[in-house]
Structure 1
């Protein structure tokens, strides 16, 4: 079955290292909590709030071994008052887990975005 997994993390600054570090933490947590390997991942869509321009979040996934996985980065809609410095992802994966067992991952300040499903 194909499942979609959501996640987000708030990074410290619009800084290349902060974006890569935060995105690495997010991707690793999604993979670990859902017991996935890169072979299970179909594709990943990353978004970043408009204030994050120092690096592409997908670079972190490439550094984690996502060499054959299609990745894309987009800018999140600049809604006034939205939480700043947030990298989000939606990963499409192959998994036998029921939808109710998929663990969505919201880290650091991004836990406020989805308190209903944040792990």
Structure 2
């Protein structure tokens, strides 16, 4: 079954190092919690809010051993007034046997406000 696995994290500053480190933390937690193998990933979409432009967060995925060939694309979120600032979101499309309600989505730091119902 193909499933979407979501996650989001915030950073304090529009800093290249901080963006890549935070994205890496989020990716690794999604991978571990859902037992994801790179070969099972169709693609990864990473979005950032308009206040983050110091780095491509996809760089974090490229630094994970074995993930070189996973297609990844970065995009900008729609700048809705009042939305969470300095936020990085991930949508990973994965082949998995995990049931929909057993997927472990990850929301970290200030991003916990986005989907408190999904935090386990």
Counterpart for residue 3 of structure 2: 3
Matched ranges for 1:17-96 at <5 A: 17-65=17-65, 66-96=67-97
**Per-residue deviation, 1:118:** 2.1
2:113 & 2:119 partners in 1: Cα distance?
Answer: 8
TM-score, normalized by length of structure 1? 0.97
> How big is the shift at 1:92?
0.3
Provide the C-alpha distance between the structure 2 equivalents of 1:13 and 1:94, rounded to a whole number of angstroms: 34
Report the 3-state secondary structure (helix = DSSP H, G, I; strand = E; otherwise coil) of the residue aligned with 2:117.
Answer: coil
RMSD over aligned CA atoms reads 0.8
Structure 2: distance between partners of 1:73 and 1:44: 9
Question: Which of structure 1's runs of 4+ aligned residues deviate more than 2 A?
Answer: none
Distance in 1 (CA, whole Å) between partners of 2:47 and 2:31 is 18
* Runs of 5+ consecutive residues of structure 1 not aligned to the other structure: none
Matched residues in 2 for 1:71 and 1:41: separation? Answer: 10
Q: For the residues of structure 1 that align with 2:76 and 2:93, how far apart are their CA atoms?
A: 19
Corresponding pairs, count: 119
State TM-score, norm by structure 2.
Answer: 0.96
